[in-house]
Chains A and B, each alone.
Chain A
C-alpha cells in the first residue's frame, strides 16, 4: 500500500461511518492523523465533520491546525475567507453566526495571526483593507504596526482606481479606521486625517448601502480628533455645530493679522469647520425641503416645501408697490410657521457659514478647492440649498440658470411617478421658483408661462371646501408682515393659490396704467376673486378704470367670474345710475360655433367653456350691439351666474388657467 492509498482508505472509512456513528468516524481520522500527520485530506475531513456538526471549538482548533500546517492549501484559504467574510458582514443567519462563533473560539493571538495572514493573501484592495480594519478593530495594539499600512494602501488604491468621487469605499474605510485608532497613534498625518470626515458627510447623505449611525455626531468626534492632531485653536471638547461656527467666526477676525504657518493652519481650521457646518445645515435644510432625496431621514416634514417670494402684499394698492422694485436684500427676513422654523434655522446657519467662507479670499480659495475635489456640483441637495440661497440674495438671473438645470435633472421619469404625485410636485418646484425669479426680474410673460405650466400639472381642485387651508394662510398672512420669503408646502392646494397670486401680481402692474388693455383687466378681475375680499380695493380700482373707459370688453367674463359682489357691481355698471357702461361680456360667436353640439359630450374643454351659456345659444344668434335680445341675454347670463356662486372657486380658476393659457400669455408683452 502506498501512503496515499492508506490515507484514502482511512478517510473513506470515516466518510462511510460519519452519518451513522460520528464517534467512530472521528476515531478513524484521529488514528489516520497519527499515522500520516502531513496528509491534508485527513485533517480537512476532520474539520469538515466538526464544521458540519457546527461544533465551534473543535472546528476552530482544527482550522487553526490546518492554517499552521498547510498554509499552501487553497481549501484552507477558502474556509478562512468565508469566515472573515462572515466577520465583516452583518448577516445574522445561522451559518454566519456559527462561523463567527468559530472564529471567536480561537485564542486572540491566533485570530490576529489568521487575520494578518488572510490580509496578506488578499489581492483585492478593498477586501484587504476591510480585513486590516477588522484586524485593527480587534487588536488595537497592531495599529502601530499596520495602521499606517492601511492608510497608505487605501490612499494608493484610491489613486490607482481613479474613482469618480472622493467619497468612495476607500475613504469610508479610511474614516472607519481613524475612528477606531487610538488617538496617540501619531502616524496618521493631519492632512490625510481631514479626508475622514468627508465620508461621514456623504454617508449620512447618500450612501444608503452603508448607513452610519449618527453620522453627524461621529463627524464631530472625528473633527475633535483631527483638531487635536492639527493643533487647532480653541478647546478640544465636542461642541455643537452652531457653537463651532461661532468659534471659527471669532477666529476669522484674527485671520488678517496672522502670518505664515499659523495663518494657514487657522485658515484650514476655519474652512474645514465652516464647510462641515455648511454641509450639515444645508443638508438638514434640503432634507426638510425635499425629503424624498433622503428617504428615511426626514422626521419633521411630510412633503416638499418651496422657498418663495411672499406675495401677501399682492392685493395691496399698486402705488405702494410700484416704488422700490428692488428689495433691500440684506434686510430680508425669513419668517414662517413654527413647523418650518427648523428648516429655516438650518437655512440661516448654512447661509452664515457660506458667508464666512467667502469673507476672505484665502478662505474662498480653500473652500473652492474642497468643492472641486468633492465634486459638490453633483450634489443635488446642495444645489437645492445654493439655489434657494441665491434667490434669497436676489441673484435671480443666476438662480434661473441653476433652476433650469435642476429642473432637467429632476424631470420625473415616465413610470417613476410616485402614487402621491410627489415627484411631479417636486419637478414643479423648480418651475415655480423660476416663475418667481422671472417675476422678480420683471419678466412677467415668462413668469406666467412657467406658472401656467405648473398649473397644468396640478390636479384639479376637489369640491371640498378649501377654507381650512385658506384660513390658515390668511392668518399667517397677517402675522407675516414685512417678510418676503416664505416656505410653502409643495402641494396642489398650496401651489395653486400661489400661482394665482403671482399671476395677479404680473397683470396688476400692467393693468393699472394709462393704457387700455381690457383683456388684462378682465384677467385681473377673474384673479381677484381668489381670496376675496382681500382684493376688494384693487377691484374697485379696476371698476374705476372701466368707468373711466366707459366700455369694457371681456368675453370670458361669464365663464370665470362667479363672485356675487363682482357680478352685482357689473350689473350696476350697465344701469343708468352706474353710468351706462357698455359691457361686452358674452362669448363671441366664433367661439360658440366651434362646438355647435355640446350636449353630445364632445371634448371636455369645450364643454367646460360653454357651461354657463349653453342654454342661451340654442335660441339666439348672438350679435354685438345693444339689441334687445342681447340685453335679454345679458340679464339671463347674469341670473345664471348668480346660481353659479356656490361653485368651487379654485376649480373655476384652475379651468381658467388651463383653458385660457394661450390668451393669458399672449396678453403679456
Chain B
C-alpha cells in the first residue's frame, strides 16, 4: 500500500481521499481473503489514512492540507456508500477500525471529528452498516471518546435542531446494538453532577420511550457479546444499567437543586423538573423490569452469579454522591419538599439495590450493602433491604439473593481493572468519596 503515496500526493484532497478509500477497500479484501487468523492493517496504511483522509501532517513542518466543508461532505457521502456497499462484515469492520480506531497520536482529534460527523450522518440517512460498526467501536474504545461521540449526537439531534429527535429515535429499530451503546454512553456522560451534565429532556423522553417499547434493548450488547476475552481497558459498561440507576436515584435531588440556582433563566428548569419527574419514575420501573429479566439472560449465557453488571464500587460512588446531594438539599431546600424528594431518591436506591441483588446483577452480601449505604440517612425501605427479608420458613421460591463473594465461582467483573470487594468489608471509610474513576479526572466533561 505504501507505494501509492506518490500517486496520491499530486491529487487534490478529495480525489486523493477517494483514491485511498478505493485502495484500502481492495487491500482489506485481500487481507481478509488471505485467511489469516487476525488480519491486521499495517502501519504504513494507517499512516496513509492519517495523511490523506484525516489530513494530519506527517511532520510538524508540513502545513496540513485542509478540505472545504463541501469537500468534507462529499467525502462523508463517499464513505457512507462505501460502507453501505461492502457486503462483507469482516471487511467493513476492518475498514472502520483502520479509519477510526484511536491510535494515541495527534491524528486522533481529527479522527474523532470525522467519526462524529460520519455517525451523525449515518443516523440521519439511516446507514445501518455504519451504525453497526460504530457500535463495535463504542465497545472497544475508551469511554472518554465514547461519551464524546455521544455528546455530538445529542448536540446534533437534541439541541441544535429542534424536532430532529425523531431521526435519532429510529436507531433503536435500525441498529439496536448501536442504540444500546449510545444509551450506555449518554448515561455515562450525563451523571447529573452539574446542570450541564443533566440529560436534555428530549434525550430522556427518547430513552424512556425506547425502554418502554422494549426493555431488553438495554441488554443487547450483553446478549451479543462473547465474554471470553476481557474487554478493553476503561471501555463503557457492558450495559447502561449502572448509569440508568444513577440517573433515577439522583434525579429527584439533581433536578430539585437546579431549581434553586440563583439565575434561573426563564423558569424552564422548574418546568423541566416537573416534566422529568414522571419520566424518571417510568425509567426507574423499566430498569427494575430489566433487572428482573437478568436471571434468564445470564443463565442462558452460563454467567449467572459470575458477572456483576452493577459494581459495588459504582454504587458506592453513587451513594456518596447521593449523600452529598442530600446534605445540600437539607441545607437549601424547603423542608417538606426536600424530605419527599430525599425519600424518593432513597426509595429508588433501595429498590434498585434490592432488585439487582435478587436478580444477580449485584454480587455482594447484605453486609456489603450496609457498608455501602452506611452514610445515608434513614429510609424505611432501605432499612428493610439492608437487613433483608425476615425468614420464618425455608421458602422454596427464594430467588438468588445476596450473592456471597465466598461462592464457588469468583465473580467476573465487567471491569477487570477493579478488584472485587474483600470478603468482609470494613465500614464506610473503605469507600472514598471519589473512588475508582478518580485516576482519570473526567476529562471528557466539557471544559466550559
Contact = CB atoms under 8 A, between A and B. Distances in A.
A18 interface: no
A23 B384 contact: no
A35 B355 CA distance: 8
B390 A3 contact: yes
B289 A30 contact: yes
Contacts of B350: 31
Interface string B367-393: 000000000000011001100111110
Contacts of A191: none
Nearest to A4: B390
B398 interface: yes
Contacts of B354: 31, 34-35
Contacts of A30: 285, 288-289, 292, 351, 355
Contact of B389 (A26, A27, A35): A35
B55 interface: no
Contacts of A26: 285
Contacts of B355: 30-31, 34
Contacts of A31: 288, 350-351, 354-355, 381, 385
Interface in B326-378: 347-348, 350-351, 354-355, 357-359
B389 A23 contact: no
Interface in A2-55: 2-3, 6, 9-10, 13, 21, 23-24, 26-28, 30-31, 34-38
Interface stretch (B175-183, B263-271, B276-284): B276-284
Contacts of B64: none
B351 to A, nearest CB: 4
B285 A23 contact: yes
B396 to A, nearest CB: 8
Contacts of A38: 395-397
A23 B281 contact: yes
A1, A24, A36 — most chain B CB neighbours (10 Å): A24
B399 interface: yes
A34 B397 CA distance: 10
A289 B398 CA distance: 73
B384 A6 contact: yes
Contacts of A34: 292, 354-355, 357-359, 399
Given A35-B354, A35-B389, A38-B397, A27 B284 contact: yes
Interface string B51-66: 0000000000000000
Nearest to B358: A34
Contacts of B395: 37-38
A20 to B, nearest CB: 10
Contact of B380 (A3, A9, A27, A69): A9
Identify whether the interface residues of B are mostly helix, strand, loop, or mixed.
helix
A27 B390 contact: no
Contacts of B399: 34, 37
A69 B397 CA distance: 9
Nearest to A28: B351
B378 to A, nearest CB: 14
Interface string A510-522: 0000000000000
Given A28-B351, A31-B381, A3 B397 contact: no
Nearest to B383: A1
A21 B278 contact: yes
Given A27-B285, A69-B397, A36 B389 contact: yes
A30 B396 CA distance: 18
A35 B385 contact: yes
A23 B359 CA distance: 20
A1 B278 CA distance: 31
Interface string A587-617: 0000000000000000000000000000000
Nearest to B390: A3
A35 B351 contact: no
Interface string B166-207: 000000000000000000000000000000000000000000
Contacts of B392: 3
Nearest to B356: A34
Contacts of A9: 380, 384
Contacts of B281: 21, 23-24, 27
Contacts of B347: 24, 28
Contact of A27 (B288, B357, B359, B398): B288
A10 B383 CA distance: 12
A21 B281 CA distance: 8
Contacts of B390: 1-3, 6
A28 B358 CA distance: 14
A28 B381 CA distance: 9
B122 to A, nearest CB: 34
Nearest to B292: A30
Nearest to B289: A30
A2 B292 CA distance: 25
Interface string A461-484: 000000000000000000000000
Contacts of A27: 281, 284-285, 288, 348, 351
A31 B292 CA distance: 10
Contacts of B380: 9
Interface string A59-70: 000000000010
A35 B288 CA distance: 13
A29 to B, nearest CB: 10
A9, A26, A27, A37 — most chain B CB neighbours (10 Å): A27
Contacts of A1: 384, 390
Interface in B277-321: 278, 281-282, 284-285, 288-289, 292
B111 to A, nearest CB: 42
B389 A10 contact: no
Contacts of A2: 390
A478 B289 CA distance: 89
B276 to A, nearest CB: 13
Interface in B230-284: 278, 281-282, 284
A10, A28, A34 — most chain B CB neighbours (10 Å): A34
B71 to A, nearest CB: 50
A229 B284 CA distance: 63
B381 A23 contact: no
Contacts of B285: 23-24, 26-27, 30
B398 A10 contact: no
A69 B348 CA distance: 27
Nearest to A5: B390
Nearest to A6: B384
Contacts of B359: 34
A38 B292 CA distance: 16
A2 B387 CA distance: 12
Nearest to A58: B289
B388 to A, nearest CB: 8
Contacts of A23: 278, 281-282, 284-285
Nearest to B278: A21
B422 to A, nearest CB: 26
B354 to A, nearest CB: 5
A592 to B, nearest CB: 102
Nearest to A21: B281
A37 B358 CA distance: 10
Contacts of A69: 397
A10 B355 CA distance: 14
Contacts of B389: 3, 6, 35-36
A37 B393 CA distance: 12
B285, B354, B398 — most chain A CB neighbours (10 Å): B285
A6 B384 CA distance: 8
A24 B351 CA distance: 10
Contacts of B384: 1, 6, 9-10, 35
10 contacts: A10-B384, A13-B381, A23-B284, A24-B281, A28-B381, A30-B289, A31-B351, A37-B397, A37-B398, A38-B397
Q: Which 4 A-B pairs have the closest CB atoms?
A: A34-B358, A3-B390, A23-B285, A37-B397
Given A3-B389, A24-B281, 18 more contacts: A6-B384, A23-B278, A23-B282, A24-B285, A27-B284, A27-B285, A27-B351, A28-B347, A30-B292, A30-B351, A30-B355, A31-B355, A35-B358, A35-B384, A35-B388, A37-B395, A37-B398, A37-B399
